[in-house]
Structure 1
Amino acid sequence: MAERPASPNRRTNDPEGLRQRLVDTAFAAFTTRGYHSSALHELKREAGVTGGALAHHFPTKKALGLAVIEDRVAEAVESTWITPVRAATTTAEGIQEVFTTIISELERKGVVSGCPLNNLALELSREDEAFQAAIEAIFLRWRTAIADKLRADLRVDRACDFDFDAMATLVVAAYSGAMAMAKATQSVAPLKVCGEQLTSIIRNQTQQGR
Structure 2
Amino acid sequence: MFEPMKTAAGKPMKKMPAPAATGRTNDPDGLRQRLLDTAFEAFTTRGYASTSMQDLRELSGATGGALAHHFATKKALGLAVVHERVAAAIEESWIAPLRAAPDASRGVQQVFSGIIAGLEDQGRVNGCPLNNLAVELSGEEEFRVPMAALFDAWRQAIAGKIRDDRKAGRGGTASPQALATLVVATYSGAMAMARAAQSAQPLRVCAQQLKQVMAA
Which of the numbers 124, 148, 151 marks the counterpart of 2:137? 124
Structure 1, unaligned runs of 5 or more: 205-210
Change (3 A) 1:37 1:86: same
CA deviations 1:27-71 (Å, max 9, x no partner) are 000011000000101101111111111111100100000111111
Displacement of 1:120 after TM fit? Answer: 0.3
Change (3 A) 1:75 1:64: same
Letter in 2 for 1:95: V
* Equivalent position of 1:172 in the other structure: 184
* Equivalent position of 1:74 in the other structure: 87
Displacement of 1:149 after TM fit? Answer: 0.3
* Equivalent position of 1:182 in the other structure: 194
Displacement of 1:88 after TM fit? Answer: 0.4
Asked whether 1:202 is paired with 2:208, we answer: no
User: Counterpart of 1:64 in 2: which secondary structure?
Assistant: helix
- Tell me how far apart the structure 2 counterparts of residues 161 and 6 of structure 1 sit (CA, whole Å): 56
* Equivalent position of 2:50 in the other structure: 37
CA deviations 1:100-159 (Å, max 9, x no partner) are 000000001111111101100000011x111001111110000000000000001089xx
Structure 1 runs (4+) greater than 6 angstroms displaced: none
- Tell me how far apart the structure 2 counterparts of residues 142 and 169 of structure 1 sit (CA, whole Å): 9
CA deviations 1:143-185 (Å, max 9, x no partner) are 000000000001089xx95311111000000110111111111
Which of the numbers 30, 41, 63 marks the counterpart of 1:50? 63
Asked whether 1:23 is paired with 2:39, we answer: no
Which of the numbers 141, 147, 162 marks the counterpart of 1:150? 162
* Equivalent position of 1:63 in the other structure: 76
Which of the numbers 106, 114, 126 marks the counterpart of 1:93? 106
Assess if the C-alpha contact under 8 Å between 1:125 and 1:132 holds in 2: yes
Assess if the C-alpha contact under 8 Å between 1:8 and 1:45 holds in 2: no
- Tell me how far apart the structure 2 counterparts of residues 5 and 74 of structure 1 sit (CA, whole Å): 24
The structure that has the greater radius of gyration is 1
What TM-score does the superposition give when structure 1 sets the normalisation length?
0.92
Q: How many residues align?
A: 200
- Tell me how far apart the structure 1 counterparts of residues 214 and 193 of structure 2 sit (CA, whole Å): 22
What TM-score does the superposition give when structure 2 sets the normalisation length?
0.89
What is the aligned-residue identity percentage? 56
User: Counterpart of 1:34 in 2: which secondary structure?
Assistant: coil
The root-mean-square deviation of aligned C-alpha atoms, in Å, is 1.5
User: Counterpart of 2:118 in 1: which secondary structure?
Assistant: helix
- Tell me how far apart the structure 2 counterparts of residues 147 and 6 of structure 1 sit (CA, whole Å): 45
